[in-house]
Structure 1
Amino acid sequence: MAVVISGVFGILLGLALIIGGVRLFDLGGTWYFAAVGAGFLLVGILLLKRQRAALWLYALLMLAALGWALYEVGLDWWQLAPRGSLIAPFGLWLLMPWIVQRLSWQHFGLRAWGGAALPLLLAVVLWGATAVLALGRDANDVKGMLPPPLAEATAPGEGEEPDGDWHAYGRTQLGQRYSPLAQITPQNVERLEPVWHYHTGDLRRPTDPDETTYEVTPLKIDDALYLCTPHNFVIALDAETGEERWRFDPQVSDSSNRQHLTCRGLSYHVERQAPAGQQCRQRLFMPTADARLLALDAKTGKLCPGFGEDGQVNLWANMPNVKEGFYYSTSPPVVARGLVIIGGAVNDNVRRHEPSGVIRAYDVRSGELRWNFDPGNPERTEPIAPGQTYSQSTPNSWSISSADETLGLVYVPFGNQVPDQWGGRRSENSERFSSSVVALEIETGRLRWVFQTVHHDLWDMDVPAQPSLVDIQTDAGPVPALVAPTKQGDIYVLDRRSGEPILPVREEPAPQGAAEGDWTAPTQPVSALSYQPPKLTGKDLWGATLIDQMLCHIQFHSLRYEGRYTPPSTQGTLVYPGNFGVFNWGGVAVDPVRQMIFSAPAYLAFTSKLVPREDDSSTLVSDKPPYLNENFGSPFAVELKPFVSPLGLPCTAPPWGYVAGADLRTGKTHWLRTNGTVRDRAPLPLPFKMGVPSLGGPMLTAGGVAFLSGTLDYYLRAYDSTSGRELWKARLPAGGQATPMTYRSPSGRQMVVVVAGGHGSLGTAAGDSVIAYALPR
C-alpha cells in the first residue's frame, strides 16, 4: 500500500508541476518546474509498476535538482529549503524498507537497498550534507567594523537639553535619536532587567480603523515621562517608578472615516524667562485624530487657556473639502523659535479632491497663526485671510519634521498629491514638491530649497521619516548635513544650508510606459548611500514549498516588472521595494560623534493594479469607509496587495529585514546583519532567524549600544553599534512598533523605555505596555 500511495503522490505532484510549469513557461518563465514535474510523473508510474528503476530515476532527479539549486542560490539555506522541501523528504521516504523491500529487483539480481537504492541514498546524503553546510553560513550578512570616531568630532547641539533628558521625538529637534548617556555598554547590556511596567489602559475598540497603532516615543523632562496613546490620551509618569501622575482625555469621538489612529509623540516648550510656578510655563503640544492642536500644562495636564480657544487650535480652519476623518496629524509638531510648526495627513487615495497639505506655524503662547506654506501657492506664506481656503489635494507632510534654529530652517518631508498611482492631473507645484525634503525659514515659512527624491512619483514613495541633522567632518572642515532616508532605500546626505548633495547623487534611466493619460519621468535619482535591493529575477522568488514557489513564479511573470519604478498598470505591476518602504516613519539613528548611521532596512514587494472607473461612485476595491484606494474623481481605482504566495508568505526570498551600519563621511556600509525571527509570524513559535521587517526606528547611545523594538517578532534588542552584533534581547508582551528612548532617572540610572502596543496593519499583537529597563542597582 505504501508503494501505491507513493506512486499516486508522485503522479499527482508531477501533474500539478507540469500544468503549472507549462503555464509558467508560456509566460516566459523557467522550464524547471515542468521538468521536475515530468520526473515526478515518471517516478510515480514506475512506483505503481513496482519497478526499482523508480529509485534510479528519482536519484537522478534529486541530483539534477540539487545542482540547479546550487547554481541558482548557492549555499543560502532559506533559498535551498523550498527547493528541496518536497524533493528531499520524498527521496528519504523512498529509502524506507516498506518501499524498497516491496519493489521488484529480479532484473538486477541484488538484495534490498542494493543497486538502484545506493544512488538514491547518495543523493539523499548529498542533499543532507548541503543543508548542514548551508545552515552554518550567514549567506546574506556583511560582517565588518565601523572605524573609530574622529578625535575632533563632537556632538552638535550638546548643552541645549540635559544629557539625561529626551525633549523631542528624536531627543532634540535635530532628529538624531542619539543619547549622550553611556552607562549601558556592550560589556554590561546583557544585565539589563525590567524596572517598571505601566499599562496605559487605552485598548483597541471595535470601531477603530485597521491601522490602530502604538507608535509613540515618550518624552522625558526633568523627573517626568510624557506620552500619548492611539486615542490621544496624554499621560504623565514618574520617571523613576513609572507611576501615573496625571492623565488627560481630549474626548476624541470615534469615526469610520479615519485611515489611521495613532500618536507618534508630543512636543515640548518651556518659557525660560517665566517664573517657575507660572501656569503653562512648560507646555506639551499634541495633534488629535479629530484635527485639533492642543496645548497642555506639563505639570498639571490641563489645557492652557491662553492658547487658541480654551487651549486648542482648530486645524480644519481654512481647509478645502472638509470631511470629518479625512485630515489630521499623527506626528508631533516642531517647536522652534517660539512657533509650533505642524503638517498633517490625508486619507490615501479616497478622492481626487482632498484637504490641503499645508504646513502651518502657530505662536506657542497664543496659538495665533503666524505663517502658512501651501504647496499649491508657495510664494504666499503670510497668514491666510478669513474666508479663504488653501489649495486642495496638495502634497502633505504626515511624518516628523526637523529644525536647525541656528540656521533658522525647518526641514519638512513631503508625500504625494493623491492619487498616488496615477498622476495625470497633478499641478506644476505638486510635481515640484511631491516626495521631497523642503527647507523653510522658521520665522516666515518662506521656501529656501527643495530636494526631490522621486520624480513624478507613481509608487507612494513619500519621504516617510524625520530628516536627521548632523555636522559631518570633511577634509574642508565640518559641513552641516541632513540625512534623509526614503522608502525606496536611498539615504540622501545633503548640505542642509542649500540642499546640495554631500554624498553623490546620480540620475538613472527609469522604466517608461505609464497608464493612459499619465506619463513617467525619464530618470530617477539614486544616492551613493543606498539600500535599494537588486532587480528581482526568478532565482529571488520564494515559497514554503516547491508548489508555492512555482505559483509565485507564475504570479511574477503575470505582472509587469522592469525593475524599480516600473509604472502602475491595468495588467498589474510588481513594485519592489513596495510602499511599506525600505525605510518608513521610524527613520534612522545618527551618532554625531562616530559619524555613523544605524538603520533597519526592510524588503517587501507589493503589487499595484489600476482598475478603470466608469463612474465616480462605485466601489471597486474596498468595501467599507473610508473607501481607501477608490480614487473617486480619477480614471482609476487601485488594488494594492503584498506580493505573497497562496499560503500568505512573501514571494521574495528572505531575509526581509536587516540592521546596517554605515559611515556618513564615505557612505560605505561597514556591516549588514540579518535581524529578527519568524517566531510571532509562523504557525508554530519557531525562532528561525530569517530576518523580518521592522516598523519603528532605532536609537543610539554614546555607550556604543543601539536599540530597536520594531521587528515583527516581539523583542526589544540591543546591538553593538560598531559591529551590528546582537548583544541582548527582551521579550515584549505585544508588538513593539515604536522607537525606543533612553534617559537618566532622578536616582542616576540610565533607563531604556519601549512602548509595546502592536500595529493593526501588520497584525502584531495589541497591548498597552510601557516598559522601562535598567542595569541592576
Structure 2
Amino acid sequence: MHNTRAWSPSRLLPSLIGLFLLVVGVAMAAGGIRLITLGGSWYYLIAGVAFAVSGVLLIAARRSGLWLYAAILLASVVWSLFEVGLDWWPLVPRLAMWAVIGLVLLLPWVRRPLAEHAGKNSGTATPALVVAVIVAFGVALASQFTAPHTLEGTIDSQATHPVKPEYAAGADWPSYGGTQAGSHYSSLAQINTDNVDQLEEAWRIRTGDLPGPNAPKEITDEATPLKVNDTLYTCTPHSQVLALDPDTGDTKWRYDTQLSQEGAKDFSGWAHMTCRGVAYYDEAAYGGASNSPDNSNLTTTGNATSNDSCPRRIFLPTADARLIALDADTGKPCPGFGDNGAVDLTRNVRPFDPGGYYATSPPVVTRNLVIIGGHVTDNASTDEPSGVVRAFDVHSGELVWNWDSGNPTETKPIGPDAHYTRNSPNVWAPMSVDEERGLLYLPVGNQPPDQYGGDRPPATEKYSSSLVALHVDSGQVAWHAQLVHHDLWDMDPPAQPVLTDMATADGTQPVVIQPTKQGSLYVFNRNSGKPVVPIEEIPAPQGAVDGDHTAKTQPRSALNLLPPKLTGADMWGATPLDQMMCRIRFKSLRYEGQYTPPSLQGSISYPGNVGVMNWGGVAVNPATQTLFVAPKYLAFTLKLVPREQADEMERGASEGSGLQPNAGAPYAVKIGALLSPLKLPCQAPSWGDVAGIDLQQSKVVWRHANGTARDQMPVVPLPLPMGVPALGGPITTAGGVAFLSGTLDYYVRGYNVATGEQLWKARLPAGGNATPMTYTGNSGQQYLLVTAGGHGTFGTRMGDYVIAYKLPKDKE
C-alpha cells in the first residue's frame, strides 16, 4: 500500500518555511521571556511560541500548521492596531514579514504537498488563512491613507508687517544668517511659489578641499557663503577662503591659511574640522570708522581711521585658532590687523590638544569690533580651554574686552601673562547683534564634561546653557535667561539667536528667539529679557549619580516642537526580531521622559543631543510673522562609567573603548544613538520633519515628514519617504518659498511656507549639510546657492561643491 505520509522532495518548500518559522519563533520566545522580566509586552513570547509550533507542524506537513499560522497572524493584526493604529511605518515590523509569509503559504507549491500528505485531492488553503492574509494586507493598504503624525494647516502668508532693513537680506547676503539678526530671510521674490519648480542649475564649482587620508572623522563642510561687494565669499573645512564671481562661480582670488598642525604629525587626532562661514566688514557702511554715539564708551586703538588699507575686509576664523583679516578685494592679509593680518586666539587659553580649541562659526562684526567665541572638545577632560568671548578692534586687532563666564564682571582686556577661567562655558554657535540697542546675544554652552556636573562652580552654573545679552561696547551682562538648569545632557543652545519684531497682545515687541536642542523656542523681549511666550518650570526626573545632582524643574516654552514621551510601543525595527531587541533595550535603560539623568545602567536622552534643532537654526519671515524649521527626532543613550573601570577599559582596548574620557571627572561616558541590531533608529519614523509656525499665535500650524532613506539603503537606493534628520538650516524668502538642503538624502528642496508642500527638489552630488543662501547676480537674476560638501559624523557623502540655481530667462 502506498504511504501518502512519506517525505518527498515536493515538501521541501513548506519544510523550509516551517524551519524558518521554528527558528524565528524560538528566538522571539526567548527574547519575549527577557522582555517580560523587564516589564514589557507579552506578545513576543506568545507569538514566538505560536510561530514555532506552526513551523513544526509545517515541517511535519500538518494542515493544522496553516490554521495556527492564520490565528496568530490575525492576533498580530489586532495587537498591532491596538498598539499603533493605522500608522504605516510602525506597522511594518509588526506585520509585513508575517503577511508576506502568509501569502507564500497560500501558493500552490505549498498547498499541494500538504494536500498530498493529507491524502486529499483538494487544496489546503484554509478560509482562515485567506481571511488573515486579506485582513493583514487590508490594514497595510488602509494605513496608506492615514498620516497620524502629520499636521495639516495653512499659515496666513500675507505680508502685513513692516520689515526693518536689519531683519532682511536683499540683493546681497552680507552675513551668515542673512543679516546680523540671524533671520535667514531674504526680501527677494523673483523665485516664488509659482515658478520655483522651474529652477535649474546655473553653475557649479569644486573648491578642491576634500578630506585626506589623515583627516578628522568629523570633517564637515557647513559653510554658508556671503554675497556682498559684488562677490561671493566662502570658506572650506581646511580654512581656505574663495572669492567667486556671483554669476559664473569663477574664482576671483583664493587664500590658503596653511593650517598649523600644532605639533601633531597630521590632523587625524583632531576632534573635528569645520568652517561655517566668514564675516564681512565695510567701513563705508558705517560712514567711516569713527565711533557712533551708541558706542561712545568704547575704547578703540590702532589705525581706526577711514584711510585704512583694508576698508573692506573678510574675517576668517581658522581651525588652528587664528582670526585672519583679508582685504575683500584682493584676498591679501590686512597688515594693520594683529600680526600681519592675524590675531592669535590661543593667547591666554592654552594649553589644549591639537584642534581642541578654535572658532567653528563666523564672528560678529560691528562698527568698531569683531567679536568671536570658540569651540572646545566635548567630554575630553575637566581642564579644557576657557569659553571666553573676545571683542577685538575691527581695524587693529587689539583686544577691547573679554567676557569669561567664569569671571563675568571683569571684562577689561586680560593681561598678557594671565589666563581665562579654564573649562568655563563656551559660545560655539553664531551670535547676533542689535547695533541700534548696542546689545550682543550669545547662545552660551555648558561646562565640560557634558554629562557630569558635580564639580561645576556657581559662577559657571549661572550662565551655563543660557541666552546671554551683553552690552556690545563693554562686554558687561545686560540680562540672561537659563534654558537648561544644571545641564547634564549637552543641551546647550546650538543656533544663532534670531532678532525680529513680533506682534503680541501687548503691541509689537522687539524679540530674540532662541532655538534649542530640547525642542523649545524661547522668545524674549530683547531689551528686558522678559519672556514674550510663556515659559513653565516643569518637574524633572531626579536621581543623579553619586557626587552629582539634578535640577528639580526645567524651563519649557509654550512654543515648542517637543515630541511625545517614548513608550515601548514606539520601538521600531525592520523586522519583528530587531524591533523586539529595541524593546528589550528600551526597557533595560533608565527612562522617565525628557531630562532623565545619565546613569550607570545607561539612560535614554530623548530628544538626543543632536537636538530637535541644532546649529542650522530656523528661518523667520518678519513680514508674515512665520517661522520655518526642520526639527529632528533621534533618541540617544548616555551611560556613565566609573573612573577606575573606564581607565581599565581604555588600557585593554586596542583600538579605543568608545568611551569619551572626561579626564579628571569621576566618570567617563559612553554616548550613542539608540539603534537596533540592524543599525536603524529604535524609535519609529519620522526622524525628521519640516514645520511651519505662526509666531503671532505661537502655534505650530503644519508639520510633515521630510526626506527619504534613499541614500542610507545598504543595497538598492529606495526613496522610502520616512522623514530623515537634517543637519543644516533653512532659509525663507518673500516669494513664499523656503529652502533646505541638509537632509540625509542628497537633495535641496523648496517648500511652500504657507502649507509645507514640497514644490521642487534637485539632486546633490554630496551631502548638503550647510544652510543655503540667495542673492541677486549682476544679471538681475535671483540665485539659490548651496554648499554640498558632506559631513563625516552625520554620514553623508563627502564632496567639495558649491552649486548655484536660477530660473530660466523666460520664467523670471
TM-score bucket (shorter structure): over 0.9
Q: Which residue of 1 aligns with 2:450?
A: 420
More moved, 43-52 vs 343-352: 43-52
1:717-764 deviations in whole A, cap 9, x for unaligned? 000011010000000000000000000001100000000000000110
Shift of 1:85: 2.8
CA gap of 1:403–1:251, structure 2 versus 1, over 3 A, is same
Shift of 1:606: 0.7
Instruction: Trace 1:728-743 onto structure 2 (pairs within 5 A).
Output: 728-743=760-775
1:178 aligns with 2:209: no
1:154 aligns with 2:162: yes
1:87-137 deviations in whole A, cap 9, x for unaligned? 1111112111122122258989782145xx211011111111111221233
More moved, 191-200 vs 320-329: 320-329
Instruction: Trace 1:539-550 onto structure 2 (pairs within 5 A).
Output: 539-550=569-580
1:407 aligns with 2:414: no
CA gap of 1:248–1:741, structure 2 versus 1, over 3 A, is same
Shift of 1:162: 7.0
1:236 aligns with 2:236: no
Instruction: Trace 1:365-514 onto structure 2 (pairs within 5 A).
Output: 365-514=395-544
Aligned partners of 2:131 and 2:121: how far apart in 1? Answer: 17
1:261 to 273, 290, 294: 273
Amino acid at match of 1:400: P
Amino acid at match of 2:272: H
Q: Which residue of 2 aligns with 1:757?
A: 789
Q: Which residue of 2 aligns with 1:669?
A: 700
1:451-491 deviations in whole A, cap 9, x for unaligned? 11110000011100000001001233210001111001111
More moved, 79-88 vs 236-245: 79-88
Aligned partners of 2:571 and 2:757: how far apart in 1? Answer: 28
Q: List gaps (5 residues or longer) in structure 1.
A: none
Query: For the aligned residues, what is the CA RMSD?
Result: 1.9
**TM-score in terms of structure 2 length:** 0.93
Shift of 1:157: 2.6
Aligned partners of 2:49 and 2:720: how far apart in 1? Answer: 33
Q: Which residue of 2 aligns with 1:145?
A: 154
More moved, 255-264 vs 607-616: 607-616
Amino acid at match of 2:749: R
Amino acid at match of 1:614: E
Amino acid at match of 2:122: R
Aligned partners of 2:75 and 2:690: how far apart in 1? Answer: 36
2:91 to 69, 77, 80: 80
Q: Which residue of 1 aligns with 2:171?
A: 164
Instruction: Trace 1:299-338 onto structure 2 (pairs within 5 A).
Output: 299-338=329-368
1:120 to 123, 129, 137: 129
Counterpart secondary structure, 1:101: helix
Q: Which residue of 1 aligns with 2:739?
A: 707
Counterpart secondary structure, 1:125: helix
CA gap of 1:348–1:655, structure 2 versus 1, over 3 A, is same
Counterpart secondary structure, 1:129: helix
Counterpart secondary structure, 1:771: strand
1:206 to 206, 213, 219: 213
Q: Which residue of 1 aligns with 2:138?
A: 129
Aligned partners of 1:398 and 1:306: how far apart in 2? Answer: 27
CA gap of 1:627–1:538, structure 2 versus 1, over 3 A, is closer
Shift of 1:76: 1.0
**Conserved in 1, the CA contact under 8 Å of 2:639 and 2:669?**
yes
1:289-311 deviations in whole A, cap 9, x for unaligned? 11100000000000000000100
Q: Which residue of 1 aligns with 2:264?
A: none
Q: Which residue of 1 aligns with 2:664?
A: 633
Shift of 1:20: 0.5
% identical equivalent positions: 53
1:240-281 deviations in whole A, cap 9, x for unaligned? 111000000010034344212010000011111469996311
Shift of 1:702: 0.4
Q: Which residue of 2 aligns with 1:659?
A: 690
Instruction: Trace 1:344-363 onto structure 2 (pairs within 5 A).
Output: 344-363=374-393
Shift of 1:141: 1.1
1:570-613 deviations in whole A, cap 9, x for unaligned? 10111111111110000000000011110000000111111111
Counterpart secondary structure, 2:745: coil
Aligned partners of 2:659 and 2:338: how far apart in 1? Answer: 33
**Conserved in 2, the CA contact under 8 Å of 1:349 and 1:628?**
no
Q: Which residue of 1 aligns with 2:81?
A: 70
Counterpart secondary structure, 2:511: strand
Shift of 1:86: 2.2
**Conserved in 2, the CA contact under 8 Å of 1:316 and 1:322?**
no
Shift of 1:627: 8.9
More moved, 77-86 vs 319-328: 319-328
Counterpart secondary structure, 2:628: strand
Shift of 1:623: 6.9
Shift of 1:325: 2.0
Aligned partners of 1:435 and 1:757: how far apart in 2? Answer: 30
Aligned partners of 2:165 and 2:610: how far apart in 1? Answer: 32
1:524 to 554, 562, 565: 554
**Conserved in 2, the CA contact under 8 Å of 1:257 and 1:626?**
no
Aligned partners of 1:169 and 1:509: how far apart in 2? Answer: 37
Aligned partners of 1:774 and 1:754: how far apart in 2? Answer: 12
Aligned partners of 2:759 and 2:654: how far apart in 1? Answer: 46
Amino acid at match of 1:643: L
Shift of 1:223: 1.6
**Conserved in 2, the CA contact under 8 Å of 1:440 and 1:446?**
yes
**Conserved in 2, the CA contact under 8 Å of 1:321 and 1:392?**
no
CA gap of 1:428–1:625, structure 2 versus 1, over 3 A, is farther
Aligned partners of 2:765 and 2:521: how far apart in 1? Answer: 33
Aligned partners of 1:67 and 1:61: how far apart in 2? Answer: 10
Shift of 1:501: 0.8
**Conserved in 2, the CA contact under 8 Å of 1:85 and 1:544?**
no
Counterpart secondary structure, 2:379: coil
Shift of 1:70: 0.9
Q: Which residue of 1 aligns with 2:19?
A: 8
CA gap of 1:425–1:276, structure 2 versus 1, over 3 A, is closer
Aligned partners of 2:308 and 2:377: how far apart in 1? Answer: 40
Q: Which residue of 2 aligns with 1:55?
A: 66
**TM-score in terms of structure 1 length:** 0.97
**Conserved in 2, the CA contact under 8 Å of 1:410 and 1:442?**
yes
**Conserved in 2, the CA contact under 8 Å of 1:52 and 1:105?**
no
Aligned partners of 1:625 and 1:406: how far apart in 2? Answer: 51
Q: List gaps (5 residues or longer) in structure 2.
A: 1-11, 262-266, 289-304
Aligned partners of 2:71 and 2:313: how far apart in 1? Answer: 74
Q: Which residue of 2 aligns with 1:649?
A: 680
1:27 to 23, 38, 48: 38
Aligned residues: 773
Q: Which residue of 2 aligns with 1:694?
A: 726
CA gap of 1:730–1:705, structure 2 versus 1, over 3 A, is same
Amino acid at match of 1:199: R
Q: Which residue of 2 aligns with 1:270?
A: 282
Counterpart secondary structure, 2:114: coil
Shift of 1:678: 0.3
**Conserved in 2, the CA contact under 8 Å of 1:259 and 1:626?**
no
CA gap of 1:680–1:276, structure 2 versus 1, over 3 A, is farther
